[in-house]
Amino acid sequence: MTREIEKERAEATREVNNILAKSVTDKFLSYRSLEVLEKIAESKNKVFVPIEALGTIGLQKSIFKDEVRKTSR
């Protein structure tokens, strides 16, 4: 009896995974990303850092300025 139940669960999980694999497209993911960004924008606790800026020396200095001060003492 329990083997039959486990088999049914496994088949149901496989079916759900197949449906999701077919329905989750790049456009859908882009849309969901926009929805998430909207929720983040509504939050009072947020900081936006442009991805392009992550590689700049200026941003790295700004982020790690307190660490640099600690080590230079």
Q: What is the pLDDT of residues 5-53, one digit of tens each?
A: 999 999 999 999 999 888 888 888 899 989 988 888 888 887 776 677 6
Domain count, the chain: 1
Between residues 25 and 64, the one the model is more confident about = 25
How far is the C-alpha of 19 from the C-alpha of 42, rounded, in Å? 32
Question: 53 CB contacts (<8 Å, ≥6 apart)?
Answer: 59
- The boundaries of the domain holding residue 62 are 2-72
Please give the pLDDT value at position 28: 87
The three-class DSSP label of residue 38 is helix
